[in-house]
Amino acid sequence: MSDSPRTILTARSVSRVFGAGRAQVAACTDISLDLSPAEMLVIRGRSGSGKTTLLNLLGGLDRPTSGTVMLGDVDISSASEAELVGIRRNDFGFIFQSFGLIPVLSAAENIEVPLRLVGMAQKERDARVAELLAAVGLARHAEQRPSELSGGQQQRVAIARALASNPKVLFADEPTGQLDSATGAAMMDLFADVVHNQGVAAIVTTHDPILMARADRVIELHDGRMLAEAS
């Protein structure tokens, strides 16, 4: 694979081993890939294939046993915990299957959380939250709490929150796993639109063929190894 200047995230010979001795398990083995801005990469595979482990390694939520993960020219696989916190806060956005919204906060307040963490002024926060709510079609639901929203609406809030701080890379772990097929397809249309129109790179784990059809590139994992890559 080429190290193009357009590459935003690079993994080289990444492996992750859990346990030791006879109890040792290789969750990911010798994986290399590149990701470019405005590209959506889908990682497919059955449960237990290593998808979530790889996503965590690429997103700085876990460290590889060997190999490197680079964000531009920054080696996040060997970064300090303080550096990783900054990278996850400023450069990465995360969307999880469980949505991860704070139940006592409204949709607008959930989206505002990462903006508070980076110290954005109130006026700018309000403008950014309004912009994101409009972008995901929830302008009229700003004051509703997660329990008052449908699953699809909650996922839209999660996408807006992940985009709040203008991340370079979005990570989504089975993002439509709790949605029906029609809502899931609509969410992925929105997700793909965000990636291609805002220039954000994205990595999505799934075994859903509907999601794969919207990807720019698909890689397949089996027992922690990358079997194939197809456009």
Two tokens, residue 49: 């294939």
Mean pLDDT of 61-90: 93
The DSSP call for residue 153 is H
Mean pLDDT of 6-25: 90
What residue ranges of the chain are covered by domains with CATH 3.40.50.300?
1-91+171-231
Percent of the chain topping pLDDT 90:
53
Domain 1-91+171-231 has CATH 3.40.50.300: yes
pLDDT, tens digit, 9 for 90 and up, residues 191-200: 788 888 888 9
Cα separation, 29 vs 71, in Å, equals: 20
pLDDT of the residue at 3: 45
pLDDT of the residue at 136: 84
Percent of the chain topping pLDDT 70:
96
Torsion angle in degrees (nearest 10) through CA of 162, 164, 165, 166: 80
Please provide residue 214's backbone torsions phi and psi, each rounded to the nearest 5 degrees. -95, 0
pLDDT of the residue at 4: 44
Indicate whether 163 pLDDT > 90: no
Two tokens, residue 149: 């929203």
pLDDT of the residue at 58: 96
Indicate whether 117 pLDDT > 90: no
Average pLDDT, the chain: 88
Q: What residues have CB less than 8 Å from 155, skipping those under 6 apart?
A: 95, 99, 175, 176, 179, 183, 187
pLDDT of the residue at 213: 84
pLDDT of the residue at 75: 95
Indicate whether 5 pLDDT > 50: no
